[in-house]
Amino acid sequence: MSQIEIASLTPFEARAEASALREKLTRWDLAYHQADAPEVDDSTYDSARRRLLAIEERFPELARNSPTAKIGAPVADGFGKVRHGVPMLSLDNAFTEDDVREFENRIRRFLALPPDQIIAFVAEPKIDGLSISLRYEHGRFVRAATRGDGAEGEDVTANVRTLIAKGKIPESFEAAPDVIEIRGEIYMTKADFLALNQAQETAGDKVFANPRNAAAGSLRQLDSAITASRPLSLFAYAMGELAGDVGASHSQFLDRLRAWGFPVNDRIRQCLGADELLEHYAAIGAGRANLDYDIDGVVYKVDRFDWQQRLGFVSRSPRWAIAHKFPAEQATTVLEKIEIQVGRTGALTPVAHLRPVNVGGVVVSRATLHNADEIERKGVRVGDTVIVQRAGDVIPQVVGVVADQPRGETDFVFPATCPVCGSHVIQAEGEVARRCSGGLSCGAQVKERLRHFVSRNAFDIEGLGDENIEFLVDGGWIKAPADIFRLEAKNSQGLQRLQNFKGWGEKKVAKLFAAIAARNTIALERFIFALGIRQVGEATAKRLARHYGTFQSWRDSMLAAVPRENDAYHDLISIEDIGPSVAGDILAFFAEDHNLKALDDLAEQITIEDAQVIEAGDSPVSGKSVVFTGELVAMTRAEAKARAESLGAKVVGSVSKKTDYVVAGPGAGSKLTQAESLGLTVLTEQQWLELIGG
């Protein structure tokens, strides 16, 4: 949607749409990164993410992690876990020339570079494969791990050794640093993909949708013999943890990789400024069809390592790199049906069922239509011929109606009652979403809330998939989260047992109870996220956990803040990215007696771990709350904030009694006055730099 449309959103509309987008993006991330079975194509995902980012830019209090500050997905069961020494981050995307020029301008502003300063970049084809990190110690290979959720990946060492045996990756190399993690992309060539699918079909086995899925599925095999039989390749292009020297720039590092025997893409170029980046992007795009591997864009990286270090990272991506994506592919098909699905917050989402169509080599059959306004805006009717587009995987985006084709007879009428429970459908003033008024009496909402509760990024309980949740709720076994942890006792004490039902054998039941017992202890941030509070995604849950430290402190502080306009409330909204809107939804949750009862009931069944304190060495500001106000001279505000957070400090937006330091530069106003009235420690910029060691 256009920026004019973004500008016209009311706060209510923005909050509702952002909530719906976060739910979709979280689900899509899990399907893509963990199951190697994408639910949507790149274009649909990118469009939804751009929309959410635009909303968050206009309404900063709505900014959260779903996935604008999120990477990948958690490690799947069956693999050992590897903690990355340096997080494996995702990349922000650019889609237009203006986006690329703004990327360059953001770097210039952050580093306070003069207008005539030339910025050197490295431009690399964006390989459509599976990210991998290869750890070498004293020049010898020791371990390989997938991206996972960015912090923790899957140990695929045995599988990667099959590539070493084929000579695709060096087992050792000379003149190596003491430790280096070499990162790249495991991919499958188009020719190898076609040959593999032909062999799979002949053998009566599963065929793969595209080379990316084939590569990811082949590498993530529990049996390394299967991986050894698959034709995988690697392009190396980055590094993680490093103890040693690899040069002063990314270009020099790539030269080292080539000298060490790692395959580096031959279409990588150094470019000076945005104009050269765009020229190289056009050249790669023009030759894309002739490549024997899939790419979906071009990655731009600041070349100088010292500038990369200063630029640092936001929550999910480096500031010094961006992926310039290629346009989506399109086709036309018939919209056969619109189905209404009910989410955990009661939001009714229309889903388009399409006559299957091949778009860029992939058959697609469904698309989300978001809400009633989206259907009306696009003028979509059942029976219409519609334009659909995709950029990489399975489900398309409905772009619009083909005007010169026969139209459906009638406009789609959004239901006035919930298709699941029959309750009235309501639409709050100013909100886009229409919701079922049934609340927890609506079976769909109960089930969706429980699905969220047991999902990978929440309690992550294996064996409680969609079908089993459906069965357990319909059978009256569970109604609320705490019931999950009483399920084994209920089963052993009751006359009717799970083992008596078809499909629930002794082994399945025992495995489920073991999985539930394994989640009796949970980190505070995951617990908060699992509650499904509106506007509380993973990033917000982490900030709440880190700020309050313990479950009891968080619970007590939220109850104290419910009346608003007191110290507890102001402390809550001082947390970064938690403004009045997000705080309102959190406190609305705590204001309901039934929510508080369910919360305390759940807390009695499990152990909630205290939040982990960020390790920042001997930093004197680790765990301290810091406010920056006024003009900074030695560095930009963005760089100062990033530096403070890297040292373990909590940068907050407003002054309260709990603020440890207020860093005040020239022009400091009301925040400085408030800090002085509260008797807080006020530092000049120079004093702050001396405190943190430069």
Give catalytic residues, as residue numbers: 126
The answer to whether residues 451 and 466 touch, using CB atoms and an 8 Å cutoff, is yes
Q: What length is written for the chain?
A: 694
Structural tokens at position 190: 């188009």
Dihedral of alpha carbons 355, 359, 361, 365, sign:
negative
CB 353 within 8 A of CB 542: no
And the tokens for 488?
A: 């084994």
Type of residue found at 87: P
Residues forming beta bridges with residue 350, ordered by sequence position? 340
Max CA pair span of the chain: 80
Q: Are 186 and 233 in contact (CB under 8 A)?
A: yes
On whether the CB atoms of residues 18 and 52 are closer than 8 A, the answer is: yes
Backbone φ, ψ for residue 336 (5° rounding): -90, -30
DSSP secondary structure of 499-530: GGSTT--HHHHHHHHHHHHTTSEEEHHHHHHH
> Where are the extended beta strands (E) located within 89-232?
93-94, 120-127, 130-137, 140-146, 152-154, 179-187
Decide: 494 and 613 in contact? Cβ < 8 Å.
Answer: no
Beta strand pairing call for 120-127 and 681-683? unpaired
Residues 6+ apart with CB under 8 A from 683: 661, 662, 663, 664, 691
Q: Based on the number of CB atoms within 10 Å of its own CB, is 647 exposed (0-12), middle (13-18) or buried (19 or more)?
A: buried
d(CA 250, CA 238): 8
Give the whole-angstrom CA distance, residue 635 versus residue 307: 13
Give Cα 538 distance to the centre of its chain. Answer: 9
Q: How far is CA 9 from CA 4, 18, 45, in A?
A: 9, 11, 21
State how far the Cα of 552 lies from the Cα of 532, in Å rounded to an integer.
18
The 8-class DSSP code of residue 128 comes to -
